[in-house]
């Protein structure tokens, strides 16, 4: 048996089967786990926020050895406890009638919630989400739950060292993330962004640490330091995604609480030298978080000395060498008794009650003289009409049955356009020999997106730097979400005007489900940019044919 939750061989959606025909922003898909017959799964918490956050117990009640790969995935919250993101992948083998206990390593995605208690049940495994994979061209889509926000970055007249001007970025880019989202209401749309950010943050930490640019109070314990800095940096980003504040003052307050609980000493009664060392330790940590986040391109850390508006100013976060290292190490001594700096069960910051606007504001000495021209630009933007996704048409066929070609034209007036196609006269049983799966192909052709604009002509957005050297004029992305099949090939087969996908299946045709998510853009000089999405759901379960048998 080798199909755990139908994704070990099916590199579907978030794992490795995101098929992008050209260079287009990805849209999310909420693909949940499906536990196959003969496998029992139960997950319990460990009481930890970071690292070993859960245990997954798999029981194989079949007569066959069970092998699979597990992860990455997003574990949603039950409402009481924090959600988690698990970026790694685990290879698993469970013998017949055996049990396998798997430690799950991950990161908390909400600093304002406590961890799942030791031994307490996590949400059912079937509710865990396999996040989509997004590229640097991704943009937030309001249809998926993203809400515009105001981002204000302006220098302070007061020189407050604890002032935070941290700008959340679209992961891996220099572009501000101009929207927020509620991960509890829209976990499927949030998970891909969180997954990409935690991977970038981990990579950035390792790179900076290897070049001796990270020094914190935990530098004597490399594993603890890595875990702590990655989690804290991730919290800064995730709080920006959700719209909740996580500032240096909050971090320092938590450090103070942990120090006092651990040592039984009041921070206000420490000798001046010890207090200075404590403060230095807080600075070391926070500067490291900002440095890693900036290197990962998930945040842009600006401060009151930066008068160039939005951008990265890490001038006060220096590399460590010589006397600087010695001083920072001394400043860390007062912090060595602290536990992992985990800020748990903190009261969330209150949400703004004003209706958010999609505005990025930046003011400094140089920009004030351009306010008039900026206002004119803003008014011009307001005059732009809206692009509409009017039609997303094409054809779909398979090499099974009578090999008919079926037209599709989903209703684009719906919030989530989807057309279900029960492909006729395809009927095959599950292969008796699982090592010889049924092979078949599906072809999508004649894809066309028609756009409309309130004030003029609106066309499909032209491709840039596509993988076929502009052999075609426009960009369309296709993402696969599969159940009951595995995908073979290099992501796509390029034919003249069509795209063929080769599948293998070890289940009967009735149990196969394949979704193709189509994504592209509409844009013109007269209209704003609009992401257009539609889903084509393909199955071989033809109810009319079955009823005749």
Q: pLDDT for 27-82, tens place per residue?
A: 344 566 677 889 999 999 999 999 999 999 999 999 998 888 888 999 999 888 99
- pLDDT band of residue 187 (cuts 50, 70, 90) is very high
331 & 426 share domain: no
- Do the domain assignments include residue 223? yes
* 532 or 115, which is more confident: 115
121 & 247 share domain: no
What pLDDT is recorded for position 481?
Answer: 67
Report the pLDDT averaged over residues 222-247.
Answer: 93
362 beta partners: 153
- Do the domain assignments include residue 303? yes
The three-class DSSP label of residue 148 is strand
What pLDDT is recorded for position 50?
Answer: 95
- Do the domain assignments include residue 31? yes
- Do the domain assignments include residue 239? yes
Q: Report yes or no on whether pTM surpasses 0.75.
A: no
- Do the domain assignments include residue 530? yes
156 & 272 share domain: yes
Q: Which two tokens stand for residue 522?
A: 């509409």
β-strand pairing of 418-422 with 530-539: parallel
pLDDT digits (tens, 9 = 90+) for 488-497: 543 433 444 6
pLDDT at 231 over 50: yes
pLDDT at 197 over 50: yes
pLDDT at 477 over 80: no
Residues 6 or more apart whose Cβ sits within 8 Å of residue 84: 53, 54, 74, 75, 104, 106, 107, 108, 109
Closest among 229, 249, 258 to 107, alpha carbons compared? 229
152 & 204 share domain: yes
263 & 147 share domain: yes
175 & 101 share domain: no
125 & 148 share domain: no
What pLDDT is recorded for position 150?
Answer: 57
In 10 A of CB 5, how many CB atoms?
Answer: 21
120 & 181 share domain: no
201 & 117 share domain: no
Phi and psi at 204, nearest 5°, equal -65, -40
Task: Domain count for the chain, please give it.
Answer: 3
- Residue 483, H or E segment: strand 477-483
pLDDT digits (tens, 9 = 90+) for 163-177: 457 889 999 999 999
Residue 119, by phi and psi: left (phi above 0), alpha (psi -120 to 50) or beta?
Answer: left
Pick the most confident of 158-167, 309-318, 533-542: 533-542
Worst-scoring range by mean pLDDT, 171-185, 290-304, 464-478?
A: 464-478
Report the pLDDT averaged over residues 316-324.
Answer: 42
Residue showing tokens 């048998």: 549
The three-class DSSP label of residue 41 is strand
Residues 6 or more apart whose Cβ sits within 8 Å of residue 162: 247, 248, 249, 252
Exposed e or buried b for every residue in 200-221, given b needs 16+ CB within 10 A? Answer: bbbebbeebbeeebbbbbbbee
- Do the domain assignments include residue 187? yes
218 & 311 share domain: yes
78 & 104 share domain: yes
Residue 92's domain comprises 4-130
Worst-scoring range by mean pLDDT, 52-61, 234-243, 418-427?
A: 418-427
148 & 119 share domain: no
What pLDDT is recorded for position 517?
Answer: 80
Final residue of a domain: which of 334, 367, 400?
A: 367
For residue 376, the number of C-alpha atoms closer than 13 Å in the C-beta half-sphere is 3
- Do the domain assignments include residue 440? yes
To the nearest whole number, what is the mean pLDDT of the chain? 74
Worst-scoring range by mean pLDDT, 142-151, 204-213, 307-316, 516-525?
A: 307-316
pLDDT at 414 over 50: yes
Final residue of a domain: which of 337, 367, 397?
A: 367
- Do the domain assignments include residue 518? yes
- pLDDT band of residue 13 (cuts 50, 70, 90) is very low
* 344 or 388, which is more confident: 388
The three-class DSSP label of residue 113 is coil
pLDDT at 465 over 70: no
Pick the most confident of 34-43, 228-237, 468-477, 509-518: 228-237
Distance CA 411, CA 419 (A): 8
Q: Which two tokens stand for residue 302?
A: 């600006």
Final residue of a domain: which of 90, 107, 130?
A: 130
């Amino acid at each position: 048996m080798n199909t755990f939750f139908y994704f070990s061989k099916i590199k579907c959606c978030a794992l490795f089967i995101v098929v992008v025909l050209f260079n287009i922003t990805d849209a999310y898909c909420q693909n949940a786990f499906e536990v196959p017959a003969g496998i029992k799964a139960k997950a319990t918490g460990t009481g930890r926020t970071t690292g070993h956050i859960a245990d997954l117990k798999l029981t194989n009640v079949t007569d066959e050895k069970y092998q699979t790969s597990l992860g990455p995935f997003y574990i949603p919250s039950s409402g009481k406890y924090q959600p988690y993101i698990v970026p790694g992948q685990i290879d698993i083998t469970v013998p017949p009638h055996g049990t396998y206990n798997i430690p799950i390593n991950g990161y908390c995605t909400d600093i304002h919630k406590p961890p799942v208690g030791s031994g307490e049940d996590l949400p059912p495994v079937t509710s865990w989400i396999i996040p989509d994979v997004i590229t640097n061209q991704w943009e937030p889509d309001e249809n998926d739950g993203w809400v515009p926000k105001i981002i204000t970055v302006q220098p302070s007249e007061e020189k407050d060292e604890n002032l935070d001007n941290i700008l959340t970025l679209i992961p891996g880019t220099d572009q501000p993330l101009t929207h927020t989202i509620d991960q509890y209401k829209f976990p499927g749309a949030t998970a891909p962004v969180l997954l990409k950010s935690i991977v970038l943050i981990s990579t950035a930490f390792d790179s900076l640490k290897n070049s001796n640019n990270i020094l914190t109070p935990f530098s004597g314990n490399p594993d603890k330091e890595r875990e702590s800095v990655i989690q804290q940096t991730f919290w800064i980003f995730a709080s920006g995604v959700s719209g909740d504040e996580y500032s240096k003052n909050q971090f320092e307050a938590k450090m103070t609480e942990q120090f006092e609980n651990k040592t039984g000493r009041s921070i206000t009664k420490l000798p001046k030298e010890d207090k200075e060392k404590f403060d230095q330790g807080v600075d070391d940590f926070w500067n490291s978080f900002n440095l890693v986040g900036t290197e990962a391109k998930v945040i842009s850390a600006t401060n009151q000395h930066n008068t160039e508006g939005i951008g990265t100013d890490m001038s006060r976060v220096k590399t460590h060498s010589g006397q600087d290292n010695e001083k920072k190490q001394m400043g860390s001594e007062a912090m060595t008794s602290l536990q992992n700096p985990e800020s748990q069960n903190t009261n969330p910051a209150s949400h703004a009650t004003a209706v958010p606007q999609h505005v990025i504001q930046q003011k400094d000495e140089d920009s004030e003289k351009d306010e008039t021209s900026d206002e004119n630009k803003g008014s011009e933007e307001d005059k732009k009409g809206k692009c509409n996704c009017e039609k997303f048409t094409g054809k779909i066929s398979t090499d099974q049955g009578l090999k008919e070609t079926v037209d599709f034209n989903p209703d684009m007036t719906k919030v989530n356009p989807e057309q279900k196609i029960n492909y006729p006269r395809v009927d095959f049983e599950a292969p008796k020999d699982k090592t010889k799966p049924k092979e078949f192909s599906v072809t999508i052709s004649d894809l066309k997106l028609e756009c409309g604009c309130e004030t003029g002509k609106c066309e499909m957005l032209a491709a840039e730097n596509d993988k076929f050297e502009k052999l075609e004029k426009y960009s369309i992305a296709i993402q696969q979400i599969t159940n009951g099949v595995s995908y073979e090939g290099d992501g796509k087969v390029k034919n003249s005007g069509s795209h063929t996908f080769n599948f293998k299946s070890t289940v009967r045709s009735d149990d196969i489900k394949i979704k193709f998510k189509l994504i592209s853009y509409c844009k013109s000089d007269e209209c704003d940019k609009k992401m257009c999405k539609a889903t084509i759901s393909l199955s071989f379960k033809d109810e009319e044919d079955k009823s005749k048998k």
